[in-house]
Amino acid sequence: KYNTEINLKKSKKSANKNLLNDDKLNTANNIKEMKYIEKLNKSGYNLSINNLDLLLSNEPNFSPKLILRKEFNIFDLEKRVGHKNVLPIMGRILLDSFGLINDKIMPIDKLDSFLISIANQYFATTLYHNSLHGSDITHTICLFFNNSNAEEVCHTKAIDLLSIIVSGLGHDIGHPGLTNNFQVNSLSDLAITYNDNSCLENYHLAKLFKTLRKDETNIFEKLTTQDFKKIRKKMVSEILATDMVHHGENITLIRSKIKAWQEVGGGQTRFNLLTGNEKTKFDEQQLLLNYLIHMADLGHNTKKFEISRTWVKLLCEEFWKQGDKEKSKGLPISFMCDRNNTDVPGSQVGFLRGFIVSSFDCLVSMFPNLRFTIENAENNIKEWQKLQDEKNLLGFTQEKDKEKKEEEEVIESENIDEVD
For the bound state, the minimum distance from the C-beta of residue 320 to ligand AMP, rounded and expressed in Å, comes to 13
CA distance 395 to 391: 6
CA distance 281 to 293: 19
CA distance 26 to 14: 10
Cβ closer to ligand AMP: 96 or 172?
A: 172
Per-residue burial over 169-200, b = 16 or more CB atoms within 10 Å of its CB, e = otherwise? bbbbbbbbbbbbbbbbbeebebbeebeeebbb
Cβ closer to ligand AMP: 228 or 351?
A: 351
Does 93 bind ligand AMP (CB under 6 A)? Our answer is no
Angle at CA 363, nearest 5°, toward 358 and 368? 115
312 binds, among Zn ion, ligand AMP, none (CB under 5 to 8 A by kind): ligand AMP
Interface pick for ligand AMP out of 344, 351, 362, 388 (rule CB under 6 A): 351
For the bound state, the minimum distance from the C-beta of residue 354 to ligand AMP, rounded and expressed in Å, comes to 10
CA distance 171 to 297: 9
The rounded radius of gyration (Å) of the Cα atoms in the chain is 25
For the bound state, the minimum distance from the C-beta of residue 194 to ligand AMP, rounded and expressed in Å, comes to 15
CA distance 124 to 121: 9
For the bound state, the minimum distance from the C-beta of residue 300 to ligand AMP, rounded and expressed in Å, comes to 7
For the bound state, the minimum distance from the C-beta of residue 151 to Zn ion, rounded and expressed in Å, comes to 23
- Three-state DSSP class for 262? strand
CA distance 193 to 350: 34
Residues 6+ apart with CB under 8 A from 103: 222
CB-CB contact of 272 with 263 (8 Å): yes
The footprint of ligand AMP on residues 95-134 (CB under 6 A) is 129
155: left (phi over 0), alpha (psi -120 to 50) or beta: left
Does 138 bind ligand AMP (CB under 6 A)? Our answer is no
Residues 6+ apart with CB under 8 A from 241: 250, 290, 291, 293, 294
- The neighbour count for residue 378, using CB atoms within 10 Å, is 15
CB-CB contact of 153 with 272 (8 Å): no
The footprint of ligand AMP on residues 237-256 (CB under 6 A) is 242, 244
Cβ closer to ligand AMP: 62 or 194?
A: 194
CB-CB contact of 110 with 2 (8 Å): no
Cβ-in-10-Å burial (0-12, 13-18, 19+) of 290 comes to: buried
Beta strand spans in 241-331 (E): 262-265, 268-271
Q: Which residues form the interface with Zn ion (CB under 5 A)?
A: 172, 297
Cβ closer to ligand AMP: 155 or 247?
A: 247
For the bound state, the minimum distance from the C-beta of residue 172 to ligand AMP, rounded and expressed in Å, comes to 6
Cβ closer to ligand AMP: 88 or 168?
A: 168
Cβ closer to ligand AMP: 7 or 180?
A: 180
351 binds, among ligand AMP, Zn ion, none (CB under 5 to 8 A by kind): ligand AMP
Interface pick for ligand AMP out of 33, 297, 326, 383 (rule CB under 6 A): 297
298 binds, among Zn ion, ligand AMP, none (CB under 5 to 8 A by kind): ligand AMP
For the bound state, the minimum distance from the C-beta of residue 136 to Zn ion, rounded and expressed in Å, comes to 9
Please identify, among the stretches 7-15, 93-101, 293-301, 399-407, the one whose residues bind ligand AMP according to the rule CB under 6 A. Answer: 293-301
326 binds, among Zn ion, ligand AMP, none (CB under 5 to 8 A by kind): none
What mask of x and - would describe binding to ligand AMP in positions 309 to 328, judged by CB under 6 A?
Answer: ---x--x-------------
Please identify, among the stretches 153-161, 296-304, 387-395, 411-419, the one whose residues bind ligand AMP according to the rule CB under 6 A. Answer: 296-304
For the bound state, the minimum distance from the C-beta of residue 315 to ligand AMP, rounded and expressed in Å, comes to 6
Does 172 bind ligand AMP (CB under 6 A)? Our answer is yes
Interface pick for ligand AMP out of 130, 183, 301, 302 (rule CB under 6 A): 301
Residues that bind ligand AMP (CB under 6 A): 129, 172, 242, 244, 297-298, 301, 312, 315, 348, 351
